[in-house]
Amino acid sequence: MIEENKTCAFKDICNGVDCDKFCVKRFKTDFYFNEAMIPQDKRLKYPMRIDIDGRDGDAFDRLVAIEKDIVKYVEEGNNLYIFSKNPGNGKTSWAFRLARNYINNTWFKKSLKATVLFINVPKFLLELKSNISQKSEYIEHILSSVRDCDLVIWDDIGSKNGTEFEVSYLLSIIDDRLTNKKSNIYTSNLNREELHNLLGDRVYSRVYNYSECIEFFGKDKRGMTNE
């Protein structure tokens, strides 16, 4: 049991009193992480480090504030667009961290259905096309949850040129979520103009104009300690 609890997403904030028996929190939060399709190694909380010049200090301060009030942020249907020209400087890590805090603060009052969903957009569009000829469990899972779950992370949006069908399908889902005041977090390597040029007026308008936009300028930190 001790060995198994090394993978508990909330071991850093737990007193450990239920680690030797059935833990309801562990059972339910594991369920939500699994439904969200968040990898095991992305469920733990790691410190986020800015560059020594402090260039992303204001962005990190704002994200810390959102993290502390994440339940209200999601319940109000707010949306967040985190972008940077530089890869590996924390965009997706911050999205995981916000999702983790939302799960931690809502697990005890939610029924057993998906509350968060992580979608890698290039993978989603690729499998969406394949799903036409051969049904994909990945696509079926997303489609069964994406319109009703509280929070969707759209990771790496705009990194792949979509066909007219793919872009229209993506638009219909995002538009439906916005209409129903469902919260979204987008991560991207594209700035405002690039997103507009790649995805067109309608998707750009829904993603960028309806979101709080936060830009990172720091360098790639992948593989560095204390990331």
What pLDDT, in 10s, does the model give residues 43-69?
998 888 888 889 999 999 999 999 999
The answer to whether residue 43 is domain-embedded is: no
Give the range among 41-45, 103-107, 182-186 with minimum mean pLDDT.
41-45
The answer to whether residue 21 is domain-embedded is: no
The answer to whether residue 63 is domain-embedded is: yes
DSSP 18-47: TTTS--HHHHHHHHHHHHHT--GGGSS---
The answer to whether residue 9 is domain-embedded is: no
The answer to whether residue 171 is domain-embedded is: yes
Note the Cα 19 to chain centre separation in Å. Answer: 28
The answer to whether residue 65 is domain-embedded is: yes
The answer to whether residue 175 is domain-embedded is: yes
Q: Are 176 and 147 in contact (CB under 8 A)?
A: yes
What pLDDT, in 10s, does the model give residues 68-93?
999 999 999 999 999 999 998 899 99
Which band of pLDDT confidence, cut at 50, 70 and 90, is reported for residue 188? very high
Which band of pLDDT confidence, cut at 50, 70 and 90, is reported for residue 130? confident
Stated pTM of the model:
0.92
Angstrom distance (rounded) from CA 94 to CA 211 = 16
Residue 34: which residues within 8 A CB-CB, separation 6 or more?
A: none
To the nearest 5 percent, what fractions of the chain are helix, strand and coil? Answer: 50, 10, 40
Angstrom distance (rounded) from CA 219 to CA 176 = 35
Domain limits for position 67:
55-215
Q: Dump strand ranges (E) for the chain.
A: 79-83, 116-120, 151-155, 183-188, 212-215
CA dihedral of residues 154, 158, 160, 164 (deg, nearest 10): 100
For the chain, the average pLDDT equals 90
CATH code (residue 80): 3.40.50.300
The answer to whether residue 102 is domain-embedded is: yes
Q: How many domains does the chain have?
A: 1
